[in-house]
Structure 1
Amino acid sequence: MTKKNIIQVFEHSFLATGDKGFHNRHFVALSKLNALHEYQYFDLKHNGVVFKQYVGVIQIDGLTIEILPKIDRYESDTEETKKKWQNVLIQMLKATRKLKIQQVGQANVSRQSIHLLDIYFEWFLDEVQLLIHQGLIKQYYKQTGNVNALKGKLEFAGHIQRNLVHKERFYTTHHVYEKDHLIHQILKQALEIIAELSKGTYIDGKCKTVQLNFPEVKALQANEKTFLKVPRSRKNAPYETALSIARLIILNYAPNISGGSEKMLALLFDMNRLWEEYVLVKLKQAAEGSEISIYGQNSKPFWNGIHIRPDIVVKKEDKVKLIIDTKWKNIDQPQPSTHDLRQMYVYNEYWNSENSLLLYPANNVQGNTNVFYQFVPLKSDSHHHCGLGKISVLDEEGRLDPDIGKKIFDTFITKA
């Protein structure tokens, strides 16, 4: 079994062409991928790529690039550090329901390095195997064509055109009840992509087994609109997870993006957004059973159709107690940017809150801080504040802290 070339880098780091198996054809493919996504993923230099805040995994032409989060840019780039932050990313994706696994194929870890794409592929294959075991559903769909017995609706014009000679045939539109339907066609396409991209890995054999047990269905080239056509029903409910992963795989797969033979799959997540969602999930868990309510995606009209939306709104008895805006960056300077402070001032005004908080990640358990300062009042009754907070992402053993929600709750919310 061949081992694919895997490069692990950190967000905001630089990868030079010619380094670690990253060649010019990979650079060209990444530049075209970047152009398709409005240049948001990378900054392109003449001799390499500077990654931005997007983390995840890209696979192209036998090369896997795993982009990991990291708070402290001065932390050493050792294998131990990479393993630590890979685990942080996986646990964050699990907590925000972008990934659902019990464990990462531990039986296969000794054979080769495990990266994020393997985990998603294995998750999908497990879901399809479960569906096969439970029994794949049949569905009715319309089929138009020649049949040997009259059934359904006779398409008269088509029948005359096609069957002047063959009087024994009928050109009809009729209902068919079988396993060759849209849902299975989507799953088949995802299986084919995995088979293409997992050659030479331990996933390859598992994928072949699933394909052998999967029914023969028509080939499909799904796009965004295809997934909108999938009917929602109780009968289809067991397929929801497999379809969501298939959607992620299919819509992020770009065959021949570089104009050559390379095929690319990119699963990338904005780390700022992931940090916001992770804090929101953990805070909601911490607030269960208390008088505190935690809200995300709470927006208000601001100007000429433009809305403003703080990351997290904390309420007690229908009164806003605290506005939280999460920032995934290690703030070195003692003060946040003027832009961020203006933003928090506006949030306080529009949500009638006395306190707002800019929440940054810290790299160690000693990094937790909680400092609130008052905005200079413009009126006698203006007395709201903005806090600058840092919370450790890691616990004392260097793993993603499972109690981070409770620590945020105790450190910032109960004291606001």
Structure 2
Amino acid sequence: MGKEKSNITVFEHEWLRTDRGEQKLTSGQFEALQQFYGENGVPYYSLIHHGVRFNEYVGVIQIGKTIIEVLPKVDKLKSTGDEIKSTWRGVLVSMLRAVGVFDIHAPSRSDLHLRSNSILDLYFELFIKEVEYLLHRGLVKKYRKTEGNRTALKGSIQFAKHINQNLVHQERFYVKYTTYDKEHNIHAVLYKALRLLSYINTNVQLNSRLGALLLDFPELYDIKVTESLFEKITYDRKTDPYRNALGIAKLILLNYHPDVKKGANNVLALMFDMNVLWEQFVYVSLRKHKGSSTSIVAQNTKNFWKPNNGYHSKMKPDIVLNKGMEDCVVLDTKWKNLNGYNPSPEDLRQMFVYMKYYGAKKVALVYPGVENQNQSGQYYDHSSHDSKDLSEEECSIISIGIESDIRVWQRDIHELIISWCLFKDY
């Protein structure tokens, strides 16, 4: 029999419960999510009575064979039909591709014809494609030091261990020597990821390719995967093509949490902060179309305050255009739907500080929206005795309508922001 699976699709900020709703959690799934949440919590969701409420993180959480897909959504539409889910799934994948999350070495991206039920399937296929690419190129060999008994003297003899182990086997030598082969940590990590995928994969279209890879890939030792293991991996001319495969392997292996008690509800979480993704997406969209006379930096840090004793505080706006120039502009991105309300006082105060500290001509808060809109508002004159006086300093609200066509969307982002800036190279 094939592997059984069930998929649950929700939007950010929605909830799933065990006792109500069209889509329900089983008690085992809820228990697994509670255990994964732990004492310190996770940012992806919060625990509620008999269920969980998802936050501004999107992506997938796999519990056993069940995939919970959390999609972004900022409009007011109440329908959650398959067409809307498919549209938002495409928007999410497009954004992840644009910011470089799905960079691959595979010869042709058009080969990715898998009908994915979630971005988890896409991740798995990308990893498979990367490993297929590496096998086609030929796996690299590396030098490694090893020791053990051999029937021929090779390398340096280890006298203490030789005498201890070979008193009655004088035909053997306990030696330490160098071997040049494919048995090294990089391949051990990829092999471990392949074995994990063959265990947790629920997409039957990938089963045969995973099986073929496990037959072709050298069978290696089990390796303990930690963050420090990946930090120790160094890349050179021969191993640089491994970067993407190792990047996906790291994401999968470090985010996999086995259920040590029951073994049935293992958890794999691949989630993305939509605030960070939106900021990066706006940034790469502006860079993609920017003119030669416009400079752009992201997350530019400046010292803001220093106590008499201790460390200084910093400010970090999302995007600064033409930093240090007369037409400097500061943008801060927010992944939320204002629904006709004003931005929060905290956001407006923050933009006022950015304007002063960067000497910006303009500042704006950039939101996703149903349609393209640009609205400006003036700050009150803080130097005036009359509390009703307005200054010339303003903060704009730029709402950018979401497009399913990624190229159109990125062009709209650039055109709307640059036309608001009134840069000469627009």
Q: CA deviation at 1:400?
A: 7.1
Of stretches 182-191 and 313-322 in structure 1, the one that deviates more from structure 2 is 313-322
Output the CA distance in 2 between the equivalents of 1:257 and 1:302.
47
1:167 corresponds, among 156, 167, 170, to 170
Partner residue in 1 for 2:297: 295
Q: In the TM superposition, what are the counterparts of 1:210-249 in structure 2 within 5 Å?
A: 210-249=213-252
Q: In the TM superposition, what are the counterparts of 1:1-16 in structure 2 within 5 Å?
A: 1-16=2-17
Q: In the TM superposition, what are the counterparts of 1:104-115 in structure 2 within 5 Å?
A: 105-106=112-113, 108-109=114-115, 114-115=117-118
Deviation per CA, 1:231-288, whole angstroms, max 9, x where unpaired? 211110111111111111111111116654322211000000000000000011121x
Deviation per CA, 1:31-80, whole angstroms, max 9, x where unpaired? 22223763311111121110000000111111000000000244321111
Partner residue in 2 for 1:339: 346
Q: CA deviation at 1:146?
A: 1.9
**CA distance 1:398–1:305, change in 2 (3 Å):** closer
**CA distance 1:200–1:271, change in 2 (3 Å):** closer
- SS of the residue aligned with 2:169? coil
Q: Count the aligned residue pairs.
A: 407
Of stretches 368-377 and 351-360 in structure 1, the one that deviates more from structure 2 is 368-377
Q: Which amino acid aligns with 1:237?
A: D
Partner residue in 2 for 1:186: 189
Residue 408 (structure 1) aligned with residue 416 (structure 2): yes
Structure 2 residue ranges without an equivalent (≥5): 306-310, 386-390
| Contact persistence 2:121–2:203 (CA under 8 A) | no
Of stretches 143-152 and 54-63 in structure 1, the one that deviates more from structure 2 is 143-152
Partner residue in 2 for 1:368: 373
Q: CA deviation at 1:217?
A: 1.7
Structure 1 residue ranges without an equivalent (≥5): none
CA RMSD of superposed structures (Å): 2.5
Q: CA deviation at 1:333?
A: 3.9
**CA distance 1:48–1:388, change in 2 (3 Å):** same
2:396 corresponds, among 387, 390, 404, to 387
Output the CA distance in 2 between the equivalents of 1:75 and 1:103.
34
Deviation per CA, 1:121-170, whole angstroms, max 9, x where unpaired? 00000111111111111110111222222222333333333333322222
Output the CA distance in 2 between the equivalents of 1:379 and 1:178.
76
| Contact persistence 2:47–2:53 (CA under 8 A) | yes
Residue 46 (structure 1) aligned with residue 49 (structure 2): yes
Output the CA distance in 2 between the equivalents of 1:331 and 1:104.
39
1:311 corresponds, among 318, 342, 354, to 318
Deviation per CA, 1:85-109, whole angstroms, max 9, x where unpaired? 0000000000011114735843x53
Q: Which amino acid aligns with 1:213?
A: D
Q: CA deviation at 1:379?
A: 7.7
| Contact persistence 2:376–2:394 (CA under 8 A) | no
**CA distance 1:363–1:104, change in 2 (3 Å):** farther
Output the CA distance in 2 between the equivalents of 1:349 and 1:259.
57
Deviation per CA, 1:189-220, whole angstroms, max 9, x where unpaired? 11011101115622112111111111122222
1:328 corresponds, among 325, 331, 335, to 335
Output the CA distance in 1 between the equivalents of 2:224 and 2:316.
37
Output the CA distance in 2 between the equivalents of 1:87 and 1:379.
51
Q: Which amino acid aligns with 1:388?
A: I
**CA distance 1:403–1:350, change in 2 (3 Å):** same
Output the CA distance in 2 between the equivalents of 1:36 and 1:176.
46
Of stretches 219-228 and 297-306 in structure 1, the one that deviates more from structure 2 is 297-306
Runs of 4+ in 1 over 6 A off after TM superposition: 397-400
- SS of the residue aligned with 2:322? strand
**CA distance 1:410–1:399, change in 2 (3 Å):** closer
Output the CA distance in 2 between the equivalents of 1:97 and 1:353.
30
Q: CA deviation at 1:21?
A: 5.2
| Contact persistence 1:56–1:67 (CA under 8 A) | yes
- SS of the residue aligned with 1:407? helix
Partner residue in 2 for 1:264: 267
Q: How high is the TM-score relative to the length of structure 2?
A: 0.88
Partner residue in 1 for 2:157: 154
Identity of aligned residues (%): 38
| Contact persistence 1:324–1:359 (CA under 8 A) | yes
Q: How high is the TM-score relative to the length of structure 1?
A: 0.90
